[in-house]
Structure 1
Amino acid sequence: MEKKLLIDNPAVSNIVFYPRKIAIPNDLNPNIDILRLNIGNGIEIGGFFYKNDAKNPTILLFHGNGE
């Protein structure tokens, strides 16, 4: 049987890890695209894409919310 951790308890994880809403500035740099991805069940995640010179590679970084 797998041992349950305290962080696996939704009452704890919902306090520790939570979505943060940020205001998008009106004067956003034109080299930044706003990303919005619908991942199902009415859940949307988002981010910013910082456009770079075509000669340089783009790195896409996904990370958890402190996990």
Structure 2
Amino acid sequence: MNGRGNCYDNAMVETFFKTIKSELIWPVVWQSRQQAANAIARYIDGFYNAVRRHSSPGFQSPVAFE
């Protein structure tokens, strides 16, 4: 770790935040903070972790990899 505010310290998390913002947050006008929070939770629990293919396990989804 190089210190506070260095994005290279946490590149995987920064990539995740960019993905969730570009695919879920920016294209939608949310009516409430709660609605956005629920959508983010569904995205993380349902789509991102279980279905999406990742490069590190040979372009398989986490479920298929396990």
* Shorter-chain TM-score above 0.5: no
Range of TM-score over shorter length: under 0.3
User: Which structure features the higher share of helix residues?
Assistant: 2
User: Which structure features the higher share of strand residues?
Assistant: 1
Highest CA radius of gyration, 1 or 2?
Answer: 1
What TM-score does the superposition give when structure 1 sets the normalisation length? 0.22
The higher-RCO structure (CA 8 Å, 6+ apart) is 1
